[in-house]
């Protein structure tokens, strides 16, 4: 199979995922109890007004037409409306997205760097003290719920030791987000040279990032270790060794590229889990991101944002998986599609 | 082969497997933990000193002591009893989900792999599609439609957990389909249902059981997580995630036991199941043995 055909296949699958998500989001609002038109109006609204809004919203038309309309509005970048806050879902997401992106990207980066590094060390010292310690550490990360570790960390590092500020979200209550900034607090603070703000944002990020990255770090560490050990038994590594190539060069230059492949294969799955993990961690740390927003919306029975959340997550998932495929290809030129 | 020698071979195979399992200390530890928690769940009412929902306003938020091993919560309920009853909730939800998702995944995976062709293609794309949605989101959607509760929780986790089993079952079936004894049976006119049940299923079962054990741990983690954010088990049922969520607000004022003990129970159970699963994999899947 050549590359363009493979790419076509992937794109078709991506579209299927997105269409699936849009159908789920569409059905969601149709099966929940309550009339969407009535929800938009004050409780004392007359039936005629409700009917008028129904017609305006297109709720009197057949489902297929309604779905096509919904699909059209999605393509126009309209994710719906939040009854609870009276703003569009896109606006709400824009407000919260930087918080979630900051949190998840830093966590993923930290997990990848430390996880790969720890995996390599464990593989090099196979069955040594470091290996056993890292195994124990990993088993804990895979078995313990992230929200529990988060709460324990708050108890230890905030209540007992006062090393970190109270879990009030991204900043202390006395600090304010930079107006007109990008929303990425660390970046904004640096740009404005506001050292106090940077420190505050950093200290608030510390625990959530460490806790969110723990389970990924554990999985990445185990996979890297397994991959590195497998590669180290291959002929080309043995040959390099017998030629007297330095150990460090063998590890970083020859083994790592192949040893890290299992991690890449699982990366898509990790990210799906990261999306789930974000929901819990944001709840624990009162992080004003889209994960906590989705949970709040369910509790308020605010369907618009839930719809938007489903579509948005499907989109992210699809894009990430495509990126993983491309990285995989860049790292292993033997792969022919 | 005579019957006797066959039994002998079976026996030696069995003892060999036992040896592998016992030689891995961690998997023995895992099996023990799981066994203990199952016992706790079964014997719950006998072990709990005080009924888990007995409210006592004279002992609100007591720290762990002789009278209350794990302390008490804001209603003065005994946390030790609640954590014990939590084992019943978590393990029974886990069992139900794992049994049904294993059966479903096994049936769909083997049939899909055996039939092959377009049907297989279609089913597997559907599985891919389902896998694209994180279980938290599936649960959120269902909770919005049906409201929170154990039923929602079970359905949500079934939807997102049978796919893994189906993939494994299908993969194994694909390779078994090409094996000599299956083609031979087909050659002498064996019915496909006979082949599926007597030749393919017994061989597909071991790897599927390993993955089921590992997914059991995941189900328990998810049950706790979803109950924690309020879309799983609802109060006043004792469930580990729910107990943590109820004790969450007290962590910043120093009442650590409300969060600590139920979480410890989750961690130990999941760890036990993971270690047990790893041990079983070492037996059934020599390729992945460490």
Q: What is the CATH number of the domain that holds A191?
A: 1.10.3720.10
In a domain, A89, yes or no: no
Choose among B128, B256, B270: nearest Cβ to A13: B128
Contact B135 A280 (CB under 8 A): no
In a domain, A19, yes or no: yes
In a domain, A93, yes or no: no
| A70 and A219 fall within a common domain | no
| A179 and A239 fall within a common domain | yes
Residue B286: band (very low, low, confident or very high) from pLDDT cuts 50, 70, 90 = low
| A103 and A76 fall within a common domain | no
Contact A151 B263 (CB under 8 A): yes
Q: Which residue of B has its CA nearest to A9?
A: B125
| A146 and A239 fall within a common domain | yes
Domains plus CATH for chain B?
3-288 (1.10.3720.10)
In a domain, A274, yes or no: yes
In a domain, A90, yes or no: no
Domain boundary among A34, A51, A84: A84
Choose among B140, B267, B268: nearest Cβ to A294: B140
Spell out the SS3 assignment of chain A. Answer: CCHHHHHHHHHHHHHHHHHHHHHHHHHHHHHCCCCHHHHHCCCCCCHHHHHHHHHHHCCCCCHHHHHHHHHHHHHCCCCCECCCCCCEHHHHHHHHHHHHHHHHHHHHHHHHHHHHHHHHHHHHCCCCHHHHHHHHHHHHHHHCCHHHHHHHHHHHHHHHCCCCCCCCCCCCCCCCCCCCCCCCHHHHHHHHCCHHHHHHHHHHHHHHHHHHHHHHHHHHHHHHHHHHHHHHCCHHHHHHHHCCCCHHHHHHHHHHHHHCHHHHHHHHHHHHHHHHHHHHHHHHCCCCCHHHHHHHHHHHCCHHHHHHHHHHHHHHHHHHHHHHHHHHHHHCCCCCC
Measure B119 CA to nearest chain A CA, in Å. 17
| A156 and A235 fall within a common domain | yes
| A102 and A80 fall within a common domain | no
Domain boundary among A84, A114, A140: A84
Task: Return the number of CB contacts < 8 Å for A and B.
Answer: 124
Number of domains in chain A: 2
Contact B137 A313 (CB under 8 A): yes
Choose among A143, A149, A306: nearest Cβ to B140: A306
Q: Which domain holds residue A10?
A: 3-84
In a domain, A277, yes or no: yes
Domain boundary among A57, A84, A111: A84
Predicted ipTM? 0.83
In a domain, A216, yes or no: yes
| A156 and A243 fall within a common domain | yes
| A127 and A268 fall within a common domain | yes
In a domain, A319, yes or no: no
| A72 and A180 fall within a common domain | no
Q: Per-residue pLDDT tens for B127-151?
A: 877 777 777 777 777 877 777 788 8
Chain A residues with CB inside 8 Å of B266's CB? 144-145, 148
| A143 and A8 fall within a common domain | no
| A289 and A168 fall within a common domain | yes
Contact A295 B217 (CB under 8 A): no
User: In the predicted model, is pLDDT for residue B99 greater than 90?
Assistant: yes
Q: Per-residue pLDDT tens for B59-68?
A: 777 778 777 7
Choose among A17, A147, A166: nearest Cβ to B225: A147
Contact A313 B270 (CB under 8 A): no
| A257 and A287 fall within a common domain | yes
Q: Could you say which residues from 88 to 147 on chain B have a Cβ atom under 8 Å away from some Cβ of chain A?
A: 125, 128-129, 131-137, 140-141, 143-145
Measure A311 CA to nearest chain B CA, in Å. 10
Mean pLDDT of chain B: 82
Choose among A145, A167, A295: nearest Cβ to B263: A145
Q: Per-residue pLDDT tens for A99-148?
A: 888 888 888 889 889 988 998 888 888 888 888 888 888 888 888 888 99
């Amino acid at each position: 199979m050549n590359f363009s055909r493979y790419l076509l296949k992937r794109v078709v699958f991506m579209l299927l995922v997105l269409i699936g998500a849009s159908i789920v989001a569409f059905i969601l609002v149709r099966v929940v109890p309550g009339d969407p038109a009535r929800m938009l109006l004050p409780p004392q609204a007359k039936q005629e007004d409700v009917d008028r809004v129904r017609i305006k919203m297109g709720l009197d038309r057949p489902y297929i037409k309604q779905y096509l309309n919904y699909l059209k509005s999605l393509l126009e970048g309209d994710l719906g409306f939040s009854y609870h806050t009276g703003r569009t879902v896109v606006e709400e997401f824009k407000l919260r997205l930087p918080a979630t992106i900051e949190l998840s990207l830093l966590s993923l980066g930290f997990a990848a760097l430390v996880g790969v590094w720890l995996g390599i060390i464990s593989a090099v010292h196979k069955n040594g003290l470091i290996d056993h310690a890292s195994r124990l550490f990993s088993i804990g990360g895979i078995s313990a719920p992230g929200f529990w570790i988060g709460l324990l960390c708050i108890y230890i590092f905030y209540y007992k030791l006062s090393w970190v500020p109270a879990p009030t979200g991204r900043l202390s209550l006395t600090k304010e987000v930079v107006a007109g900034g990008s929303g990425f607090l660390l970046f904004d603070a640096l740009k404005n040279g506001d050292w106090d703000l940077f420190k505050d944002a950093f200290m608030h990020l510390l625990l959530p990032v460490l806790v969110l990255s723990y389970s990924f770090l554990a999985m990445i560490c185990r996979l890297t270790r397994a991959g590195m050990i497998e590669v180290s038994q291959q002929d080309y590594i043995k040959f390099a060794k017998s030629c007297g190539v330095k150990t460090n060069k063998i590890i970083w230059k020859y083994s790592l590229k192949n040893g890290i492949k299992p991690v890449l294969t699982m990366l898509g799955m990790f990210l799906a889990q990261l999306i789930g993990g974000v929901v819990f961690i944001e709840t624990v740390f009162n992080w004003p991101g889209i994960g906590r927003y989705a949970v709040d919306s369910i509790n308020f029975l605010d369907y618009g944002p839930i719809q938007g959340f489903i579509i948005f997550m499907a989109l992210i998932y699809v894009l990430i998986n495509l990126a993983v495929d491309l990285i995989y290809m860049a790292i292993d030129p033997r792969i022919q599609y | 082969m005579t019957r006797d020698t066959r039994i002998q071979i079976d026996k030696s195979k069995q003892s060999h497997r036992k040896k592998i399992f016992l030689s891995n200390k961690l998997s023995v530890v895992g099996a023990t933990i799981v066994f203990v928690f199952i016992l706790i769940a079964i014997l719950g009412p006998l072990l709990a000193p005080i009924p888990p929902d007995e409210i006592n306003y004279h002992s609100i938020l007591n720290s762990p002591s002789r009278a209350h091993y794990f302390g008490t919560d804001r209603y003065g309920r005994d946390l030790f009893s609640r954590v014990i009853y939590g084992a019943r909730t978590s393990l029974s939800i886990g069992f139900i989900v794992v049994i049904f998702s294993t059966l479903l995944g096994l049936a769909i995976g083997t049939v899909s792999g055996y039939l092959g062709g377009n049907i297989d293609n279609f089913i597997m794309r559907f599985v891919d599609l389902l896998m694209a949605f994180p279980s938290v989101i599936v649960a959120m959607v269902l909770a919005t439609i049906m409201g929170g509760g154990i039923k929602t929780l079970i359905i949500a986790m079934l939807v997102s957990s049978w796919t893994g089993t189906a993939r494994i079952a299908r993969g194994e079936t694909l390779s078994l389909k090409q094996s000599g004894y299956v083609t031979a049976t087909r050659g002498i006119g064996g019915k496909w249902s006979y082949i599926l049940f007597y030749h393919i299923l017994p061989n597909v079962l071991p790897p599927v059981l390993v993955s089921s054990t590992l997914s059991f741990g995941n189900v328990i983690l998810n049950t706790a997580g979803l109950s924690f954010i309020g879309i799983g088990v609802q109060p006043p049922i004792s469930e580990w995630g729910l107990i943590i969520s109820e004790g969450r607000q007290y962590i910043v004022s120093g009442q650590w036991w409300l969060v600590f003990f139920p979480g410890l129970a989750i961690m130990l159970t999941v760890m036990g199941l993971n270690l047990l699963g790893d041990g079983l994999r070492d037996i059934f899947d020599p390729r992945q043995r460490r």
